[in-house]
Structure 1
């Protein structure tokens, strides 16, 4: 464990303060605009974060600015740029250059469009691009992607004297996450233990780790996806910046510990929702610089909606043309919905929006089954509601009215450029899959009223349902997995009455499961199928097959009858947060017995109670 020396007066020599600013998971959200809803928004957008960056820079003499990955792709703005790019400077690189970023880490989603697209995207970057645990081809090295960088900076001490300081920055991304780009990875801790000593040997006075990874468990296991806790124990790391899970650390506005094992740590949310700030006190002693103290915190972007879509910032001239082209492209009509589609009540089984995605995946799986001459096995489709409130706020849900389905609608239904995958799955594998899914829910015993369904820090998008099966979830039982996906009780089970076409599913029954490349590689700590069970289908983005499905069918009618329900628990109930608009949608799911506990909490959510 790292301990900072608290009594600076006892030491002699020059003393400087270094401020580290960080963003993560921007996903091409440069402007404060929701292209799915076609409206300005508050609470996110890099042009809004830029205002926090400017203010934080003005407060300190020595500042560096870093990005922690997943910034290049993932929004409608990025898709429109990709369609017409033709070797133009990537808009996010233009934005980071404009804000004078000092270095950028790569995240897994920065590889979503393949190696060539990534290498093309980072051309023109005025800063180092990093990843230490991706095994990159020679073309990537030629593009100057490196494991780490040593930033040579002139820093000013409290007396105004100038000193040389070498700041080492290293980057990591989640292992086993680059299958689509055909790039191997290594374990994050293995890479850290390899490179951090090299950085020190080459003169790094301070080492900052950009880890595109979440908090995770304290104990390390090989190829761990969320690894901040064990990474903080690696000798030689002075500051740690996390991401990937779209969560925040430390909690904003609370007197919480802002370090992991003594290492100042931040996780700055997503889409520019927060600016991470780490302040280090560094002293020159016996010919070397030593970090003596460190503190960390977050500053949230204001939730107020800006009067001007571009927040009247210098971003206006840079991106107004792309912004207007994106709005126009999103209006293209694809099909028509017979009724409304929404996912306000996805956590309790009411979700017509995700049902459409699953229908499209199932339809594409049937085409693959025929084209490949696969066995005539039952086909299932698994998916989750990516927009499910949480840190995204009470408006962060998918809600489409009946009528025209446009490109904007379909992008709202499925946000990420995940690729279709098809897997041979047994009944035992599917049961384990569903046990992982329902592990986000808290245990509820008979007679307990208004138990919170899931903890606030657990992302709702982890929960997946499987179209083609029906089942119940018994919340009185302990969960087999922790909410983060670690195995807790191997013999525990909540899934009851698991059936296909009204018949119980046996452990050795065979199915074809339509899912995504992200899931088959263990994304979200879901069970990983045997490689021999992953079928060789042509690469296709889920959003593309969704577009094809809607275009081919024209008029879309969704049967929102429940796939699953909670098993009754005598005299018990749960409560959960959702949008206030969920009250209107509740009539579409008449089997749900809902009451409103709080019409508007401090974050703008409505709190609903469900009788079990």
Structure 2
């Protein structure tokens, strides 16, 4: 599918075509392999995207290849890095060097292991590394933008000089854990784009690790593609961060934002973004004449095997084998299956285990630091909850031995433990944010979709230690993206701790993560004095300790929350077809199967309210 924009530049003069190829949100998925499930996959992995890159390069005379961030960390492969002394090149950087990338933007998750880790990782990069709105030390090897001076072939076979400007942005206020300040994306763009033009950029490409967002700009917007596309001088735009695809298959998605050809190439190498620009030179000045935006998807057909062409798989075979072996190390045992197929309707034994581990660590911290004797709570979400990841993208562990692979499946991100002093009012607001992802359902309405497909399920958190109900008949206090809609709106009902109604001035200690206390997912941010000083430890590390110290894992999976009854109403939601095999583990959950297998492979379940 190709979409075009035309600008009023004369067709007379020298014409040059430029093809821009882009990946985003690779999250260290170099190989088409799911280390959590210990199986090969077909629909993602940079080694599979590489074939699309080769094909797209072979079709055009002038091509550049760019990456839009969140590439360095996010899979088990990224945690088994080679010894720095023997091989100082980060695996993803080695893969990008191998594929001859021309530039790379940084995303927020590239800083998950701190600033110094990023600087070490990019040392071996044979291409520029960018970010224009993060305050990094000079000489760190990261620049706001780059001007790529290229000899290009014109349409008559002649040679021309073209200066291609590439600038990068990441989400504001997303690097607190790395102690790095950021600025607003549009402010940075308005500052640097004219500077790039003044320095001779003939065409400017913006790599924005950011989603679509609202059309109206506000300061420090996380998802800003719509307003960014209005900044004069930007000729092509590449988005990411939200793991979405644009242009989509739907006819209304035209691949153009305010006249700017735009792509969002999915995640994990699922898609290759392709932007074709046609430039005309008149009187020594280049102008954009035509632009086209499209996506190419890696095949998700298991029978469509990647050709043996891929030298990337050979290049990383030793690291792949070492990662698989490390993931199989035994940690503990569970006497019951753990899964999160029905996390959106309050049935989730997998996340319950993570919360128990967080509570256990919070007790140790409370005792060691002689903290106030306040009730302890633990908040967490199910990261693997279907959505764009597909019907197999859930956590599901069988009863029996638990390995490092099991723990990585339970908690896949390197977030760190945080402990916060909170009030009942703060908790209520926290949970209102959580349940804002759900659609409103009025009495008598049957089969209302529980949440829109584009809303990530991992935004929804539950809190162990409380019980409560969610009234979907009421409007949400926040939008699904987290913006405040109506301050006095509320869906939370019967909020209790140990059977007692929670009052606004009640106090608790809430175990959560550094990501959440810094506003990740647009959750309420606690006051700095309420964030207790704790020794840094990753959630997966404390989860490993907890599982190893238990004789056997056995959990009470009774719901901490449920939906408030609504007369004559029901909701439906997507989950894995495998959910039907474990639904009996939650006897209080009354589900009807609405569609056995939809066009995306999901089963649609209906829940009476």
Q: Give TM class, smaller chain.
A: over 0.9
Supply the distance in 2 between the matched residues of 1:64 and 1:465 (Cα, whole angstroms).
Answer: 44
> Residues of 2 paired with 1:327 and 1:521: CA distance?
33
Deviations 1:70-101 (A, max 9, x none): 10111111111167775431111110011110
Distance 2:182 2:204 in 1: 22
Contact 1:445/1:572 (8 A) holds in 2 = yes
What value does the CA root-mean-square deviation take over the aligned residues? Answer: 1.7
1:460 and 2:457 are equivalent in the alignment:
yes
Give the C-alpha shift of residue 286 in structure 1.
Answer: 3.2
How many correspondences in the alignment?
606
In the other structure, the counterpart of 1:153 is 150
Aligned to 1:26: 26
Where 2:435 maps in the other structure, the secondary structure is: helix
* 1:47 pairs with 2:41: no
What is aligned with 2:125? 125
1:205 equivalent among 183, 202, 205: 202
Q: Does residue 606 of structure 2 align to residue 593 of structure 1?
A: no
Give 2:366's match in structure 1, choosing from 353, 365, 369. Answer: 369
Aligned twin of 2:100:
100
- Paired residue for 1:81? 81
**Which segment is superposed worse, 397-406 or 259-268?**
259-268
Further displaced range: 383-392 or 288-297: 288-297
1:35 aligns with 35
Instruction: Give 1:550's aligned residue.
Output: 547
Separation in structure 2 between the aligned mates of residue 77 and residue 308 of structure 1, nearest angstrom: 21
| Structure 2 residue 324 is the aligned partner of structure 1 residue 320 | no
Helix, strand or coil: the match of 1:244?
Answer: coil
**What is residue 109 of structure 1 aligned with on the other side?**
109
Q: Is the 8 A contact 1:40 1:306 kept in 2?
A: no
User: Which residue number in structure 2 is paired with residue 289 of structure 1?
Assistant: 286
Residues 5 and 292, structure 2, Cα contact 8 Å, conserved in 1:
no
2:476 is aligned with 1:479: yes
- Specify the alignment match of 1:446 in structure 2: 443
Q: For the residues of structure 2 that align with 1:455 and 1:31, how far apart are their CA atoms?
A: 31
Match in the other structure for 1:190: 187
CA deviation profile, 1:299-327 (whole Å, cap 9, x unmatched): 11111236879965111220011111111
Of residues 266, 272, 284, the one that matches 1:275 is 272
1:48–1:311: 8 Å Cα contact kept in structure 2? no
User: CA separation in 2, counterparts of 1:85 and 1:231?
Assistant: 42
Distance across 1 between alignment mates of 2:6 and 2:79 = 49
Are the equivalent residues in 2 in contact too, given 1:41–1:306 (CA < 8 A)?
A: no
Cα distance in 2 for partners of 1:550, 1:79 equals: 20
Q: Is the 8 A contact 1:252 1:298 kept in 2?
A: no
Q: Which runs of 5+ in 1 are unaligned?
A: none
CA distance in 2, matches of 1:167, 1:564: 54
SS of the residue 1:486 aligns to: coil
The answer for unaligned runs of 5 or more in structure 2 is: none
Question: Partners of 2:270 and 2:565 in 1: how far apart?
Answer: 39
Tell me how far apart the structure 2 counterparts of residues 299 and 85 of structure 1 sit (CA, whole Å): 38
Q: Distance in 2 between matches of 1:517 and 1:252?
A: 37
- Secondary structure of the equivalent of 1:298? strand
Match of 1:568 in 2: 565
Match for residue 345 of structure 1?
342
Deviations 1:455-479, CA, capped at 9 Å, x for gaps: 1111111111111111111111111
**Residue 430 to residue 477, structure 1, CA distance change in 2 (3 Å):** same
Query: In the alignment, is residue 510 of structure 1 matched against residue 531 of structure 2?
Result: no
Quote the offset at 1:257 in angstroms: 2.0
Give the distance between the partners of 1:221 and 1:371, measured in 2 at CA: 43
Checking the alignment, whether the CA contact within 8 Å between 2:172 and 2:221 is kept in structure 1 is: yes
Distance 1:310 1:381 in 2: 47
Q: 1:202-246, CA deviations, whole angstroms, 9 ceiling, x for partnerless residues? A: 111111111111111222222221111221121211111111111
Question: Distance between the aligned counterparts of 1:345 and 1:122, measured in 2?
Answer: 40
